[in-house]
Structure 1
């Protein structure tokens, strides 16, 4: 019996090490972020990120969104509404990054006013999230192994928070 316990422990360690549901991106530990969300508040690992619900009317009415928020996240269920030409100037000139979550469409084309959301083709290798600072600065966030699960989605949010803090993918 004493010989079986070390063997079982070794097998357990090996199996745990092979778990594909491990997030490899360290937690975002930068400054506290306040992010406006159109849609449901996401579940994330970080405690230094605060979310506030925001609606489309608020985006249109607020002259200086950057005084209230560090970024805006738009969830999947609202993508067709926000891909409207009347919001283009806001996306392009607000100075805030906007993140479009779980879209099967190319938001680069939509934000540049080249095509409507309805007419945009579905993208085969589309990122899980697209970040846009203005009409010339975009970045994409894929899921680990292209698998949609809770851990991989939380990992995308962690990378988004790091981008917001550093604006790294938006620099030329």
Structure 2
């Protein structure tokens, strides 16, 4: 019985050690207050100086001039990526003058900037980022970003740390 207990204890220590290697907690974003429009469910973040406001793709399409004044960035969550990747929205993204982030896109940002291919038509991208971002520079050019998870491990800690990095990027762009 004692050997079994020691074996279990060693296994627990090993597993706890492995878990620690797969997580990284970055510093919390402490910059300017940010207001972010979200299409989908609001993400769970650590920051208190970041507020999220639900919106729809239709609002993005028909009110895009005012959106740039109202928000610091737009997040499009995973459950809306197919719809957001429809051809008609590529023009919207090219006209907005603020960062747009596609959460958990398996296709990176590519199907969102070209009007001749949809999200479903574009193949999955190997070694993709957890979150891809774009910002129009005009004339069909975009700044692009990719944010991965620490050790490519999907944990709450790693996801929250990735969001903190994105908030830093939004702050630096604004």
Matches for 1:140-151 after TM superposition, within 5 Å: 140-151=146-157
Taking structure 1 as the reference length, the TM-score comes to 0.82
Q: Secondary structure at the match of 1:64?
A: helix
Total equivalences in the alignment? 154
Q: Quote the Cα distance in structure 2 between the aligned partners of 1:114 and 1:24.
A: 40
Taking structure 2 as the reference length, the TM-score comes to 0.81
- Determine if contact 1:97/1:164 at 8 Å carries over to the other structure: yes
Residue in 1 aligned with 2:24? Answer: 23
Q: From 120, 144, 159, give the equivalent of 1:153.
A: 159
Residue in 2 aligned with 1:125? Answer: 127
- Determine if contact 2:23/2:150 at 8 Å carries over to the other structure: no
- Name the Cα RMSD after superposition: 2.0
Q: Relative to structure 1, is the Cα distance of residues 22 and 117 closer, same or farther in structure 2, using a 3 angstrom cutoff? A: closer
Residue in 1 aligned with 2:103? Answer: 101
Q: Relative to structure 1, is the Cα distance of residues 25 and 72 closer, same or farther in structure 2, using a 3 angstrom cutoff? A: same
Q: Which runs of 5+ in 2 are unaligned?
A: 1-12
Cα-to-partner distance string for 1:47-80 (whole Å, 9 max, x where unaligned): 0000000011211121221111000000000000
- Determine if contact 1:83/1:117 at 8 Å carries over to the other structure: yes
Cα-to-partner distance string for 1:117-170 (whole Å, 9 max, x where unaligned): 1111111201000010024210100010001111111111101100000029xx
Q: Which runs of 5+ in 1 are unaligned?
A: 1-11
Matches for 1:10-89 after TM superposition, within 5 Å: 19-20=20-21, 22-62=23-63, 63-89=65-91
Q: Secondary structure at the match of 1:145?
A: helix
Residue in 2 aligned with 1:4? Answer: none
Runs of 4+ in 1 over 6 A off after TM superposition: none
